[in-house]
Amino acid sequence: MGKKKEKRFWKKIILVSICGLLCGGVGAGTLAAYTYVRQHAGKEAEETGKKQESESISNQENNEAFKQTAENAEERVSSVYDVSVVWDNVIPAIVEIETKSVVSYRFFGREYEQESRGSGTGVIISQAEELFIVTNNHVVDGATEITVSFVDGTAAQAEVKGTDVEGDIAVLAINFSDLSEDTMRNIKIATIGDSTGLSGGEMVIAIGNAAGSGQSLTVGYVSAVDREVEIEGIKMRLIQMDAAINPGNSGGALLNAKGELIGINNAKLVASDVEGIGYAIPISEVVSIVNRMLNREEIDYEESAFLGIVGQDVTETFSELLNIPVGIYISEIEEGSPAKQAGLPLYAVITEVNGITVKTKEQLGEALSYIRGGTQGTVTVQERVNGIYVPKEYAVTFGVRGKDREN
């Protein structure tokens, strides 16, 4: 991370009394997104570098692009004593991710821009119409250029296919025309396991681009399953394990003893009196998020949906201070708008659109961009009733956004 960026970042951390840094990348200009695990007071949380994912995508059977594939895998099976087998089987599905972004800053009243670089990991999950790679959202958030390097040392440019801020998951896509025949022969799709049956004490293996210096492997055990952790105000239920997780591991693969992907590493708890606490997103949750991304329709901007509201973000801090739910506070409703016609109440807080959680105006706009204007859907709000906020769902016929619509 560049010195100036690092200083500004830590000043911000000190001001909001956050103790931890989740390292979303390694090198100058590391992308840091999720920065705080607030499960234990006074302990630091550290994002673990870049992403890795392993899963296979089949032909949209039952509208599922991404699903468990372990039962179909014909792989050598490792024992507790021979994790080298896992390495041999999985490493062709693991990629290194390098990102570039532009960081703006002000100095003596003038604004400057500086190129920032980051690194991470990803996992190949499909070779359908494009090569799809899954990683953490915080690894590629804000990136203007994404380069993916494969097991054979070749590299290609990738584009973001979809992101989920809440789940900290992103899917990257690479055109097959950008890959050589040799590379296609050397890479493979990762085998997806089942995280729903995990229990404490099971051996796990983590592979990732630790410290941005290349792929490496660590071994440990599941410490807890379904552990609730709060990162940057977002509550997640994660797998807790004691396998060593280091900067650069974000998006890395968490595997069982058979080499099946059961989680995506994304956070580490750091404190002077804490050791061996890392977290991973369960693969069952990743599968759900990826399927939603890959199955949603791409819609032209002018044909996408709008509500016709003016809103303000209710952050975690404001929520605690004012006792208002986190979401988008409706401060104005446009006359004749879809929101007005649906009966959305003024001063309520929008929390979901068509069942998708939204906590900021940016997330609301993204959700609406994947809804076709003129279609019917639902908007869930937290509405104040007798001094208490209660959830209520409203049926809405979305308007056509048009050139000048934002929400």
Catalytic-residue membership of 40: no
277 close to 265: Cβ distance less than 8 angstroms: no
- Residue 240 CB coordination number (10 Å): 20
Residue 198: strand, helix, or coil: coil
Q: Is 104 a catalytic residue?
A: no
Q: For 295-359, give the secondary structure using H, E and C.
A: HCCCCCHHHEEECCEEEEEECHHHHHHHCCCCEEEEEEECCCCHHHHHCCCCCCEEEEECCEECC
Catalytic residue among 101, 138, 195, 223: 138
DSSP state of 19: -
**SS3 call for 165:** coil
C-alpha 231/C-alpha 242 separation (Å) is 19
How many CB atoms sit inside 10 A of residue 7's CB? 11
Active site residue 56: no
Token pair of 284 as six digits: 């069952």
Catalytic hit among 54, 56, 149, 250: 250
Q: What is the dihedral of CA 369, 358, 117, 183, to 10 degrees?
A: -60
Q: Which residues contact 346 (CB under 8 A, 6 or more apart)?
A: 330, 331, 332, 333
> 24: part of which helix (H) or strand (E)?
none
Cα gap 53→4, rounded to integer Å: 32
Q: Which structure tokens are listed for 276?
A: 């061996």
Q: How far is Cα of residue 247 from the mean position of the Cα atoms in its chain?
A: 16
Report the C-alpha gap between 20 and 332 in whole angstroms: 37
Whole-angstrom distance, CA of residue 57 vs CA of residue 191: 10
Selecting among 101, 141, 168, 304, the annotated active-site residue is 168
Q: Which residues are catalytic?
A: 138, 168, 250
